[in-house]
Amino acid sequence: MILLGWMLVLLLLALWSGLVWSGEALLAAVLSHAGNLGSGDWSLPAALTAWLPVPVTEWLAGTLETLTPQLQALVGTLPWLSGGVTVLAWVVWSVGALCLFGIGVAIHVGVALWRKSRNSTLQPSVIALR
């Protein structure tokens, strides 16, 4: 039973690792090519404006127009930020792995306590039969 619990934790760790590292690769690729976007047209998509009320759409368009220089500066720094994605991925992976390890320890202790309580309840009946 304990072995089954640890196998489950290892399987979840493998899935967690694959998810984190594929996300890291995707995010690093997106950020490394983000500097090639150019100035672009910083406007709201038509699909979004169709669903929003007119005052909200006007407010968002004005805010986006005001923030265009800052957004452009951010796009220029995105390739530089791609190096930090690996560090972030390691931190996220470590937190998840520690949580999974904690779950494994909890399963291990839980099964051990369950076995101990089961054995302690069986012993008095065995003693009474003697």
**Number of independent structural domains in the chain:** 1
Please tell me the pTM assigned to this model: 0.60
35 touches 76 (CB < 8 A): yes
Torsion of CA 114, 117, 123, 124, to 10 degrees: -140
> Which residue segment(s) compose the domain that 96 sits in?
2-37+54-129
- Is residue 75 one of the residues assigned to a domain? yes
- Is residue 101 one of the residues assigned to a domain? yes
- Is residue 25 one of the residues assigned to a domain? yes
- Is residue 81 one of the residues assigned to a domain? yes
- Is residue 47 one of the residues assigned to a domain? no
Give the pLDDT confidence of 38-89 residue by residue, as tens digits: 555 667 777 777 888 889 888 888 888 888 787 777 777 777 777 788 899 9
